[in-house]
Amino acid sequence: LVIVLDFGGQYNQLVARRVRECNVYCEIYSYKTELEKIKAKKPKGIILTGGPNSCYEADSPTYSRELFELGIPVLGLCYGAQLMMHVLGGTVARADVREYGKTEVWVDKRDSRIFQDVSEKTVCWMSHFDTIFKVAPDFEITAHTADCPVAAAENVDAGLYALQFHPEVLHTEEGTKMLSNFVLNVCGCAGDWRMDSFVEESVKQIRHKVGSGKVLCALSGGVDSSVAAVLLSKAVGSQLTCVFVDHGLLRKNEGDEVEAVFGPKGDYDLNFIRVNAQQRFYDKLAGISEPEEKRKIIGEEFIRVFEEEAKKIGAVDFLVQGTIYPDVVESGLGGESAVIKSHHNVGGLPDYVDFKEIIEPLRDLFKDEVRKAGLKLGIPEYLVFRQPFPGPGLGVRIVGEVTEEKVRIVQDADAIYREEIEKAGIAQGIGQYFAALTNMQSVGVMGDERTYDYAVALRAVNTVDFMTAEAAEIPFGVLQRIMGRIINEVKGVNRVMYDLTSKPPGTIEFE
């Protein structure tokens, strides 16, 4: 285990992902985590992340000196590097020149273990206004840039390493090598954490935990809950019951598709219950336009419907949730990041379901790891690589009040959009894409008649981790074809727009 201590930087999850790409298991903890807790985890290494503060200011995130005296290798990145120097007696202050972006770094200590097989001159991603002016006692400067005398430093005997830049960002061309040098060479991790072992271990652990107990799972048909359900089905077979709530905010035909895979005619050993609760959700959402309120209503109603089904089933021993690691972190439970949206699948637990314990088999995995686990489990590719779909469904893709009519419009437009993207052969190159319904109505003309209809927004983004994203480039001809079909085939739409916004400042979904 490697622990990533989160000081509030924006790339913290990336650090964890890169470490896992070296087949080393790691977890993110807040910098507020007590030293005793960290020690108890017996990590082989600790990585301090970047962060937005100045380490020399009184109320900035910090950590006690003991962290660096545990005999466990520590790698500080950006803020983490500055903090290491500051706490251990070096000098950090505001620099005259702010370094931002791709920067050439000269490696001065060619035999540094962290720079093993790294070029003498290498491009790194810098983003700092403070700089290390003097390294702490017993540290040696190992790299510099044109503006920054300390781009890297180390105290080999103490196992302490500091990098002013961000090796976790892909713009740092040899960053993965540096991180892998740290976790494999310096920390001595074995690098044998793989998906096969994850699946085998999980099945074993679940079997052991569940015994002959009954297990209940809320299945949404999305990647996460599908992989969780199949994992459980492999482990305990028909002791598992999956309840699929069709809340009427699914993509076109999706309810039937989920039933085809997991229902009695499907491939898996489990009990499948589909609840058609569409109208209940539409009724509850009538007149509501505030995004967080909509999210809460959908989340709560989902729980109520689920509870009612659970009551019919009676007492169970375990409840399965398809929570994945970014959900945990984004909901403010793991690291330091602020809560941006209240996530549907974290936190809200059914009060009245009679169960003893929660099972969250994917709680430690990133999305791409969940997909790998899905493939290992033999889940069909089309399901494993399905577009991510938010818990509140089309509810967050319809701006303003949700009505049955609007659901129909966005479902139809989205189906056309997906069909055309697939036909154009560009689906694999896009991270996530969908149609959304803006709440805007505007004037148009169709067949000599004035129209006053809705505008559909097409969203397509490329993203590594769904924390940041950029609009995908779709050939204009394809966009035009989609526009033409949507206007012609979807009643109630007279305008189609393409959303160019990155995340940040936008989010991927609309609400």
Strands (DSSP E) contained in 7-50 are 26-30, 45-48
Span from 23-31, 100-108, 388-396, 491-499 in contact with ligand XMP (CB under 6 A): 388-396
Q: Is residue 103 a contact residue for ligand XMP (CB under 6 A)?
A: no
Q: Tell me which of 22, 55, 154, 166 is the catalytic residue.
A: 166
Q: Is residue 433 a contact residue for ligand XMP (CB under 6 A)?
A: no
* Helices 223-236/195-210 angle, 10° precision: 60
Which listed residue (45, 175, 390, 393) binds ligand XMP by CB under 6 A?
390
For residue 20, what are its two tokens?
A: 């896992």
CA separation for the pair 130, 84 (Å, rounded): 13
Closest separation in Å from C-beta 250 to ligand XMP? 13
369 or 509: CB nearest ligand XMP: 509
Total of residues contacting ligand XMP (CB under 6 A): 15
Instruction: Answer yes or no: is 224 a known binding residue.
Output: yes
Q: Is 431 exposed, middle or buried (0-12, 13-18, 19+ CB in 10 A)?
A: middle
Pairing of strands 449-462, 432-446: antiparallel
The CA-atom distances, in angstroms, between 46 and each of 159, 177, 388 are: 10, 17, 32
Which listed residue (350, 388, 400, 492) binds ligand XMP by CB under 6 A?
388
CA separation for the pair 171, 173 (Å, rounded): 5
Active site residue 78: yes
Closest separation in Å from C-beta 388 to ligand XMP? 4
61 or 335: CB nearest ligand XMP: 335
Closest CA relative to residue 225, chosen from 306, 324, 307, 334: 324
Cβ–Cβ under 8 Å, residues 317 and 214: yes
Instruction: Answer yes or no: is 289 a known binding residue.
Output: no
Q: Is residue 149 a contact residue for ligand XMP (CB under 6 A)?
A: no
Which listed residue (10, 54, 278, 507) binds ligand XMP by CB under 6 A?
507
DSSP of 100-168: EEEEEEEES-TT-GGGTT--SEEEEEEEEEEEEEEPPTT-EEEEE-SS-S-SEEEETTTTEEEESS-TT
Active site residue 22: no
Residues 344-373 that bind ligand XMP (CB under 6 A): 344-345
350 or 492: CB nearest ligand XMP: 350
Instruction: Answer yes or no: is 237 a known binding residue.
Output: no
Which residues contact residue 488 at a Cβ distance below 8 angstroms, ignoring those fewer than 6 apart?
none
Closest separation in Å from C-beta 294 to ligand XMP? 11
Instruction: Answer yes or no: is 220 a known binding residue.
Output: yes
Question: What is the side-by-side order of every strand in the sheet holding 45-48?
Answer: 26-30, 2-6, 45-48, 74-77, 160-163, 152-155, 140-144, 91-107, 121-134
Helix (H) or strand (E) holding 457: strand 449-462
Instruction: Answer yes or no: is 266 a known binding residue.
Output: no
13 or 53: CB nearest ligand XMP: 13
What amino acid is encoded at 162 in this protein? A
Which residues contact residue 489 at a Cβ distance below 8 angstroms, ignoring those fewer than 6 apart?
412, 416
For residue 214, what are its two tokens?
A: 């009954």
Which listed residue (144, 341, 363, 481) binds ligand XMP by CB under 6 A?
341
Which listed residue (364, 466, 494, 496) binds ligand XMP by CB under 6 A?
466
Closest separation in Å from C-beta 467 to ligand XMP? 8
Strands (DSSP E) contained in 172-300 are 215-218, 240-246, 271-276
Closest separation in Å from C-beta 348 to ligand XMP? 10
Which listed residue (391, 395, 415, 421) binds ligand XMP by CB under 6 A?
391
Q: SS3 of 3, please?
A: strand
Instruction: Answer yes or no: is 221 a known binding residue.
Output: yes
Q: Tell me which of 55, 99, 148, 168 is the catalytic residue.
A: 168
CA separation for the pair 489, 441 (Å, rounded): 18
Which listed residue (343, 371, 372, 406) binds ligand XMP by CB under 6 A?
343
Q: SS3 of 21, please?
A: helix
Q: Tell me which of 22, 26, 55, 78 is the catalytic residue.
A: 78
214 or 247: CB nearest ligand XMP: 247
145 or 345: CB nearest ligand XMP: 345
Active site residue 168: yes
Instruction: Answer yes or no: is 225 a known binding residue.
Output: yes
State the binding site for ATP. 220-226
The binding site for ligand XMP (CB under 6 A) comprises 340-341, 343-345, 388, 390-392, 432, 466, 503, 507-509
Q: State the catalytic residues.
A: 78, 166, 168
